[in-house]
Amino acid sequence: MELIPAIQRLLDELGRSADPAARDRRAALWRAQHHAANATHTLDDLRRFCLGALSTPRSLGAEEPVRGYREGFQAVLREIRRFETAGPSEARRET
């Protein structure tokens, strides 16, 4: 899928930070990348996957949402939007 390089770039930007939010964001990005790697999935499938993950909030014990996890899926949704508005050739040039 066309978005895998953009997701990889987001993962590279996170590096190996031990920060819990970065760890959770990395987990969300890995899940999205894995979903995108399926040859039968489209951008709409990836969008639905991310929105589905955001609609069922994960929590750490007493109602504290895992902020980084949500931020990771939101970043993928922003990349999908950027890709769709810029077009494939423009999106590739920006990465």
pLDDT digits (tens, 9 = 90+) for 6-50: 999 999 998 888 888 888 899 999 999 999 999 999 999 999 999
| pTM, full prediction | 0.80
Contact 10, 36 (CB under 8 A): no
pLDDT number for residue 24: 87
3-class DSSP assignment, residue 16: coil
Residue 50: give the domain boundaries. Answer: 4-94
Q: What span, in angstroms and rounded, lies between the C-alpha atoms of 92 and 41?
A: 19
Contact 76, 11 (CB under 8 A): no
pLDDT of 93 above 80: no
68 confidence band (pLDDT: 50, 70, 90): confident
Q: What span, in angstroms and rounded, lies between the C-alpha atoms of 76 and 4?
A: 10
Name the domain count of the chain.
1
